């Protein structure tokens, strides 16, 4: 049943739940109404019976009492106030031995043990006046439901009939419940009809409300299906109000905008990579064709020219390999399983290794370093590559014989070169992929080095930026969160790094 319910459309489930809720509410209200009306009608019958039996204590039983079970002209010589029907009631006397004497009505009615017990209690001479027993209950007599009120009246004294003398006696009055039960039955049918109509109306209203409430969801569904079919990420959902649907619409719009931006960056990366690969491939192809043509024609290339061609081919292959490596680094997701785990490492140690590698590449460039201990949480290989790229960028733009200063203090690593510097209008673009300043396009490089630096530093929770240096050149400032002292366990998580006044713990 639950599986079948879940298979229904959402609007059908909402309409069904609404109808069920209304049905339960209407059923509870209808039942309460029926019970209240029943109690009220029964109470009215009881009040009329009590009024009819109000004179029971004043009934004087004649000595020569002859009990009858059928109506007679002489109601046994009893006072007029106790004789005759009152609002369709029937009246009788109930003796302690169970015998009944008709006072008025069509005939005697059933006397239960309750009635005889009341009569017997009325014969107790020790009972104070006005405190004789009474009973109010419902019986079925000759197939008719009756409401009966029985009041003890005392006992028969000095009766001519020895069998009756001394018998306790009670006055009993009844009234049929036919009209009351008919009214309750009609009320029950009426309430059932009203409840049924209410459930149907509630179901229709629930379906209408569900359709109106789910209309924004339908628009969202249509938009998602349109995007899935056309891959058009420029589609946006209109946002109305500030409810949950509006929040969902805004979230979806933000998601599609992010996906569109990601796709644009991927397309731009492919286009830029193709452009950057075309130049070395064209040059490599030209050199190889020259070598091949020399072999095919039998005309050898002069040794110096041949060595120059081979050196150019080797350099172009090295450039291609470096470009492909940079592209692979940038294309890896942050959660790449091949990426090494984050570790607590010494930034000063990695910076020192990067300086050693940069010195090998920058012949004639002096690199001075002053590295204070600083421990961070990062991937060692990626961080070292980022620092090497940062140093290579400084070495590449430094004139021969110039100096590059590397400093690390309180988690801030600075690399200062004495090159031509970067114009202020070009500084916002230096970390973009494949971007190269007009003055550097003749120099080797792919334009991806600083992009890798920015990506690696961002993954480690740090920042990096370039600014013009005083006296000329460029100052690169890299900050990573960490601590000046290592944790007890070098494999500890960033949360275990000791806090210092100089910077937060890594992570």
Q: How far apart are CA 463 and CA 62, in angstroms?
A: 118
- For 4-133, list the strands marked E by DSSP: 90-95, 100-104
Q: Span 244-331: which CATH code? A: 1.10.287.130
Q: Treating both helix axes as pointing N-terminal to C-terminal, what angle do 380-396 and 449-459 enclose, rounded to 10 degrees?
A: 140
pLDDT of residue 78 exceeding 50, the answer is no
**CATH 1.10.287.130 in the chain, residue ranges:** 244-331
**CATH 3.30.565.10 in the chain, residue ranges:** 343-496
pLDDT, one tens digit per residue, over 312-332 is 888 778 767 766 776 666 666
Report helix, strand or coil for 186.
helix
> In the structure encoding, which two tokens stand for residue 103, read together?
């006072």
E strand or H helix at 20, and its extent? helix 10-52
pLDDT, one tens digit per residue, over 336-392 is 545 556 788 999 999 999 888 888 776 678 889 999 999 998 888 888 888 888 888
Q: Is 167 exposed, middle or buried (0-12, 13-18, 19+ CB in 10 A)?
A: buried
pLDDT band at 494 (very low <50, low <70, confident <90, very high): very low
Report helix, strand or coil for 101.
strand
Using alpha carbons only, how large is the chain's radius of gyration in Å?
Answer: 53
Query: Tokens 């959402």 appear where?
Result: 10
Q: How far apart are CA 140 and CA 137, in angstroms?
A: 10
For residue 503, which of 472, 481, 476 has the smallest C-alpha distance? Answer: 481
Contact, 87 vs 48, CB < 8 A? Answer: yes
pLDDT of residue 249 exceeding 90, the answer is no
Contact, 151 vs 91, CB < 8 A? Answer: no
Order the strands of the 366-371 sheet from edge to edge.
366-371, 403-409, 412-416, 474-479, 463-468
pLDDT of residue 121 exceeding 90, the answer is no
Q: How far apart are CA 494 and CA 343, in angstroms?
A: 8
75 to each of 64, 67, 108, 116, 122, how far by Cα in Å? 12, 10, 13, 22, 22
CB atoms near residue 299 (< 10 Å): 8
pLDDT band at 130 (very low <50, low <70, confident <90, very high): very low
Angle at 427 between CA 424 and CA 428, to 5 degrees: 120
Q: Span 343-496: which CATH code? A: 3.30.565.10
Q: How many helices, marked H, and strands, marked E, lie in the chain?
A: 10, 13
Q: How far apart are CA 101 and CA 111, in angstroms?
A: 11
Average pLDDT over the chain, rounded to an integer: 77
pLDDT, one tens digit per residue, over 434-451 is 665 655 544 555 567 787
pTM for this model (two decimals): 0.45
User: CA 108: distance to chain centroid?
Assistant: 71
pLDDT higher at 376 or 127: 376
Query: Tokens 């005392």 appear where?
Result: 154
pLDDT higher at 305 or 482: 482
């Amino acid at each position: 049943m639950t599986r079948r319910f879940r298979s229904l459309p959402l609007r059908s489930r909402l309409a069904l739940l609404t109808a069920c809720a209304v049905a339960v509410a209407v059923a509870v209200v209808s039942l309460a109404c029926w019970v209240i009306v029943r109690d009220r009608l029964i109470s009215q019958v009881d009040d009329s019976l009590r009024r009819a039996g109000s004179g029971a204590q004043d009934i004087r039983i004649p000595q020569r009492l002859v009990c009858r079970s059928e109506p007679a002209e002489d109601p046994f010589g009893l006072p007029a106030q106790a004789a005759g029907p009152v609002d369709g009631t029937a009246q009788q006397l109930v003796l302690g031995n169970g015998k009944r004497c008709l006072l008025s009505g069509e005939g005697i009615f059933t006397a239960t043990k309750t009635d005889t017990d009341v009569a017997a209690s009325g014969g107790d001479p020790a009972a104070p006046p006005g405190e004789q027993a009474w009973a109010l209950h419902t019986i079925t007599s000759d197939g008719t439901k009756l409401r009966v009120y029985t009041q003890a009246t005392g006992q028969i004294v000095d009766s001519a009939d020895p069998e009756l003398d001394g018998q306790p006696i009670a006055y009993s009055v009844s009234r049929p419940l036919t009209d009351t039960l008919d009214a309750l039955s009609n009320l029950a049918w009426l309430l059932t009809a009203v409840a049924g109509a209410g459930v149907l109306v509630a179901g229709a209203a629930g379906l209408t409300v569900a359709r109106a409430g789910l209309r924004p969801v339908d628009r969202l569904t249509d938009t998602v299906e349109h995007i899935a079919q056309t891959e058009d990420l420029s589609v946006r959902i209109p946002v109305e109000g500030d409810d949950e649907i509006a929040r969902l619409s805004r979230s979806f719009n933000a998601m599609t905008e992010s996906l569109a931006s990601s796709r644009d960056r991927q397309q731009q990366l492919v286009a830029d990579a193709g452009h950057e690969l075309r130049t070395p491939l064209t040059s490599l192809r030209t050199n190889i064709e020259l070598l091949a043509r020399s072999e095919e024609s039998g005309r050898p290339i002069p040794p110096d020219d041949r060595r120059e061609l081979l050196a150019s081919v080797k350099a172009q292959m090295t450039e291609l390999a470096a470009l492909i490596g940079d592209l692979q680094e940038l294309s890896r997701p942050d959660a790449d399983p091949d990426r090494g785990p984050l570790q607590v490492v010494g930034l000063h140690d990695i910076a020192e290794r990067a300086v050693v590698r940069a010195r090998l590449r920058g012949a004639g460039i002096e690199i001075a370093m002053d590295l204070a201990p600083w421990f961070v949480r990062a991937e060692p290989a990626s961080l070292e590559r980022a620092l090497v790229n940062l140093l290579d960028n400084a070495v590449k733009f430094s004139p021969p014989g110039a100096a590059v200063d590397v400093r690390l203090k309180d988690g801030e690593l600075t690399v200062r070169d004495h090159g031509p510097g970067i114009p202020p209008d070009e500084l916002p673009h230096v970390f973009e992929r494949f971007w190269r300043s007009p003055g550097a396009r003749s120099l080797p490089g792919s334009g991806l080095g600083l992009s890798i630096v920015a990506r690696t530093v961002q993954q480690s929770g740090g920042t990096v930026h370039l600014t013009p240096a005083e006296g000329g050149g460029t100052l690169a400032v890299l900050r990573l969160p960490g601590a000046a002292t290592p944790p007890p366990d070098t494999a500890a998580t960033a949360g275990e790094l000791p806090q210092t006044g100089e910077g937060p713990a890594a992570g």
